[in-house]
């Protein structure tokens, strides 16, 4: 039931281009003509619509446009979120003096890491002079000047934006011998285990996209961020409806994380139970309250993202006690006080959609009010060495 004017977003991602799902929105259960329907690519499409308040429930209908007859259990990821329009500018499009993403990102060393919070402000979008119905494309040059053309590299890029107002995606391009930009890979959605979670997109080269072609010059790679037209027109709609004060600035916020490493050739497929594997990042999900803090009364999920499949290592990790959430509090200078209580995950699970990710679920009550918390990982080992939690 929509009790006040709200913005509705419905997103669908299928795991196969042969399983195409469309979404239709109707005024009520008896209406025959759709108010709106989803649009997008063969595997991902979305519906974004402002809905006036009404006493009768709206109706959503999901239809398979096509179906892989050889797939015994076709699945898709469905996200539905609606929020009152009057809350959007304050809660979802707030500006916090964040910079634009860098135009150039130097990739230096055999193990490179970069992360940051950025924003596309309404002032910047206005200066970009985008045409009607056009989305934003923003290029970041990966300055990989020291890349060895005869070596193998692993590249992992992840973005997080708002599910409702953002839906940022990206592609990776390279410069061929004729100085033309060609596609090297595109981001894929990462499923969320938390209600109201962020819109996460990730791209992995060598692990999922396949080995780099011989003619790829990484030193000229371009990371192209994309904001869809629906997200950009939303700002105009809010201004036209009087939900954003004249002269006020709103922002599309995003988080960007880039990891790059030189591969050694060991345990490339992740089949070894004990062998080299590097932790790329930890992604947290839970019920967030003011200031981005997590609600102690709700469960908390940590997703450990590695640089290769963890199917082999998880045979050892699924039974051991190697992860804990430790409360800490600064007591002056660099010193910290550690609480005696450390929470253990009640569930350790290898992601079914991405075997390079391990999910740790901490139960409600794991967080202690007024304390910071540190995820502590110990690396189970054996005669062949240990698992590398290098983060």
Phi and psi (nearest 5°) for 314?
-70, -20
C-alpha dihedral over 28, 34, 36, 41, to 10 degrees? 130
Length of the chain: 391
Q: How confident is the model at residue 321 (pLDDT cuts 50, 70, 90)?
A: confident
Indicate whether 230 pLDDT > 50: yes
Half-sphere exposure at residue 235, Cβ-oriented, CA atoms within 13 angstroms: 25
**How many Å apart are CA 134 and CA 115, to the nearest integer?**
28
Q: What is the pLDDT of residue 35?
A: 93
User: Could you give the C-alpha distances from 102 to 111, 139, 142, 205, in angstroms and in order?
Assistant: 20, 9, 10, 21
Q: What is the pLDDT of residue 140?
A: 96
How far is it between the farthest Cα atoms of the chain? 67
* Average pLDDT estimate for 264-278: 74
Q: What is the pLDDT of residue 285?
A: 86
Decide which of 267 and 164 is more confident. 164
Q: What is the pLDDT of residue 337?
A: 81
Q: With 0-12 CB in 10 A as exposed, 13-18 as middle and 19+ as buried, what is 3? A: exposed
Alpha helical stretches, state H, the chain: 85-91, 122-127, 229-240, 311-317
Which region among 12-21, 199-208, 355-364 has the lowest average model confidence (pLDDT)?
199-208
Q: How confident is the model at residue 179 (pLDDT cuts 50, 70, 90)?
A: confident
Indicate whether 367 pLDDT > 80: yes
Which range scores top for mean pLDDT: 28-37, 204-213, 276-285? 28-37
**How many Å apart are CA 12 and CA 194, to the nearest integer?**
16
Indicate whether 199 pLDDT > 90: no
**How many Å apart are CA 196 and CA 156, to the nearest integer?**
24
Helix (H, G, I), strand (E, B) or coil at 315: helix
* Average pLDDT estimate for 337-359: 88
**How many Å apart are CA 60 and CA 8, to the nearest integer?**
11
Indicate whether 78 pLDDT > 80: yes
Q: What is the pLDDT of residue 315?
A: 86
Q: For residue 356, give both structure tokens.
A: 């390079």
Domains in the chain with CATH codes: 6-86 (no CATH), 104-262 (2.60.120.510), 279-386 (no CATH)
Per-residue model confidence as pLDDT tens digits over 298-314: 899 999 998 888 888 89
**How many Å apart are CA 140 and CA 254, to the nearest integer?**
14
Indicate whether 195 pLDDT > 60: no
Indicate whether 161 pLDDT > 50: yes
Residue closest to 361 by CA, chosen among 279, 281, 286: 286
Indicate whether 347 pLDDT > 80: yes
Q: For residue 389, give both structure tokens.
A: 């939690």
Per-residue model confidence as pLDDT tens digits over 132-149: 677 899 999 998 877 776
Per-residue model confidence as pLDDT tens digits over 23-70: 999 999 999 999 999 887 777 788 888 899 999 999 999 988 887 888
């Amino acid at each position: 039931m929509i009790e006040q004017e709200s913005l509705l977003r419905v997103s669908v991602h299928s795991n196969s281009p042969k399983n195409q799902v469309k979404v239709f929105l109707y005024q009520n259960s008896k209406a025959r003509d759709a108010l709106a329907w989803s649009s997008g690519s063969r595997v991902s499409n979305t519906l974004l619509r402002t809905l006036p308040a009404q006493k009768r429930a709206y109706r959503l209908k999901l239809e398979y446009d096509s179906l892989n007859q050889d797939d015994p259990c076709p699945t898709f990821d469905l996200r539905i979120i609606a929020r009152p329009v009057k809350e959007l500018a304050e809660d979802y499009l707030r500006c916090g003096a964040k910079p634009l993403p860098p135009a150039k990102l130097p990739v230096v060393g055999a193990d490179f890491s970069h992360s940051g919070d950025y924003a596309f402000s309404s002032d910047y979008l206005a200066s970009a002079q985008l045409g009607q119905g056009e989305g934003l494309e923003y290029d970041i040059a990966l300055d990989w000047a020291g890349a060895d053309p005869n070596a193998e590299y692993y590249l992992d890029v992840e973005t997080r934006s708002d599910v409702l107002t953002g839906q940022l995606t990206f592609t990776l391009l390279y410069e061929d011998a004729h100085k033309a930009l060609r596609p090297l890979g595109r981001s894929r959605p990462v499923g969320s285990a938390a209600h109201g979670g962020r819109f996460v997109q990730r791209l992995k080269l060598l692990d999922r996209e396949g080995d780099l072609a011989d003619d790829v010059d990484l030193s000229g790679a371009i990371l192209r961020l994309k904001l869809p037209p629906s997200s950009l027109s939303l700002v105009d709609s809010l201004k036209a409806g009087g939900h954003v004060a004249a002269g006020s600035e709103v922002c599309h916020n995003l988080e960007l994380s880039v990891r790059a490493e030189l591969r050694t050739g060991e345990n490339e497929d992740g089949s070894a139970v004990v062998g080299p594997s590097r932790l790329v990042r930890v992604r947290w999900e839970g019920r967030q309250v003011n200031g981005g803090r997590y609600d102690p009364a709700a469960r908390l999920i940590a997703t450990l993202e590695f640089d290769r499949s963890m199917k082999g290592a998880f045979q050892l990790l699924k039974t051991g006690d190697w992860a804990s959430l430790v409360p800490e509090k600064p007591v002056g200078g660099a010193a910290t006080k550690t609480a005696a209580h450390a929470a253990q995950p009640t569930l350790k699970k290898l992601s079914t959609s991405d075997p390079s990710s391990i999910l740790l679920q901490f139960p409600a009550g794991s967080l202690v009010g007024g304390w910071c918390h540190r995820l502590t990982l110990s690396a189970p080992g054996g005669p062949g060495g240990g698992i590398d939690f290098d983060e």
